[in-house]
Amino acid sequence: MNDDTATKADAELYINRTFDAPRALVFEAWTKQEHLDRWSCPTGFTIPSSEGDIRTGGWFRTCMRSPDGEDHWLSGRYEEVTPPERLVFTHAWHDGNDQPGHETRVTVIFSETPEGKTRMQFHQAFFTSTASRDGHEEGWNETFDKLGTLLCELA
């Protein structure tokens, strides 16, 4: 096994964030297309195309355009949508033939803090390499920064 091959122990990503917004609003930002299109890509990227059916058993397909104009397609299925507590969905990047590649599973849990804020627990597994996990960690953290900014505008 080389350094780029993930073992089960390091093939998972955990990110915890607390947002100064009510849980229902944070959940809405994750489940309303008009909000998702504003925050759910890394800094400098845009979402020129997205579609889906955000419900248990639903699906999504999104194009993220990089700052240099390269399109990156991804898709997945919603396994669980439980307002305003939990989202579970699959996530797969598409290859050059527009075929989904390796699929990971994302679980997002939203809980209220005593101060009226929202604690978000994000988990994604299982990655095929530590490099992939680390790249996703950077990308997700940038998107969550954008989510925080959007929540301030919406609150």
At 2 the pLDDT is 41
At 10 the pLDDT is 78
Residues 127, 131, 132, 136, Cα dihedral to 10°: 110
Domain definitions of the chain by residue range: 8-154
- Cα separation, 108 vs 122, in Å, equals 5
- Cα separation, 129 vs 79, in Å, equals 24
Backbone angles phi, psi at 72, to 5 degrees: -125, 115
Whose tokens are 């195309």? That residue is 49
CATH class of the domain whose range is 8-154: alpha beta
| Widest pairwise Cα distance in the chain | 48
At 53 the pLDDT is 97
Q: Which two tokens stand for residue 109?
A: 């849990």
Per-residue pLDDT of the chain (155 residues; tens, 9 = 90+): 344 555 666 799 999 999 999 999 999 999 999 999 999 999 999 999 999 999 999 999 999 999 999 999 999 999 999 999 999 999 999 999 999 999 999 999 999 999 999 999 999 999 999 999 999 999 999 999 999 999 999 98
The answer to whether the beta carbons of residues 150 and 29 sit under 8 Å apart is: yes
At 25 the pLDDT is 98
The answer to whether the beta carbons of residues 16 and 22 sit under 8 Å apart is: no
At 3 the pLDDT is 46
Whose tokens are 């960690």? That residue is 137
- Cα separation, 56 vs 84, in Å, equals 13
The answer, as to whether pTM is greater than 0.85, is yes
At 7 the pLDDT is 61
